[in-house]
Amino acid sequence: MEDNYDFELIGAQQQSCDQQSQPQDQPVEKPKKKQLTPQQSFFKDVKDVLVIICAFMVAYVLFFRAVVVVGDSMYDTLASGDRLLVLNNLVYTQPKRGHIIVASKDSFRGGECIIKRVIATEGQEVDIDFKTGTVYVDGQALDEAYIYTPTTRPEGMKFPLVVDEGCVFVMGDNRLKSMDSRDPDIGLIDEREILGRAIFLLWPGNGTSEHPIEFDFGRIGVID
């Protein structure tokens, strides 16, 4: 028994010595990155810039468009000559009251752009008191702080009217100078005729001779 105990003890000591004698793992050196020459670095930067420009152009074509305001129908929210960034109808699919939209009807002046504010959407009832200039939607008078002139001029549409499914009722902010859904020639705008929503004023215009506006960079910004 003693011989066996001595053998086990010697074996354990030998194993401990072997473990101590084994060299510790050495840290592995990471390969050094290859240094680019000035010429390679330049072409890499140019490539990165071109990729960014191409991505921006693709995003712009798919999701945005630019339009120019013509006339005074949206004065003084927008002036003639204003250049607007429009969110394309590819992503803008739910018009809401207060949105300024850009639409095009083949039956109106050969598809000329119509830039107006949404007043009511499908299923809502619109009524107008032309004596007081008050607009009602579903029986509630609208607080239209954005208008330049009151809604006192009828254009031929009969009120009250209910907005058809898939359509919107629109008017310009300058009601006395706006041809809009009050006029049967335009009437309700089918949502499929909406090109997008005006979201940003890119460059200010100078207005018209009747409503000239001073060139002001401060007007550049988000459109309410």
Burial class of residue 199, CB neighbours in 10 A (0-12, 13-18, 19+): middle
What are residue 68's DSSP bridge partners? 83
Whole-number Å distance between alpha carbons of 26 and 6:
36
Instruction: Confirm whether 131 is a catalytic residue.
Output: no
Whole-number Å distance between alpha carbons of 129 and 139:
12
Instruction: Confirm whether 73 is a catalytic residue.
Output: yes
Residue whose token pair is 């250049």: 83
Q: Which amino acid is at 151?
A: T
What are residue 115's DSSP bridge partners? 102
Choosing from 33, 107, 116, 209, the catalytic residue is 116
Choosing from 16, 32, 44, 73, the catalytic residue is 73
Judge whether 125 and 102 are in contact, CB under 8 Å: no
Whole-number Å distance between alpha carbons of 93 and 61:
17
Q: What residues are labeled active site?
A: 73, 116
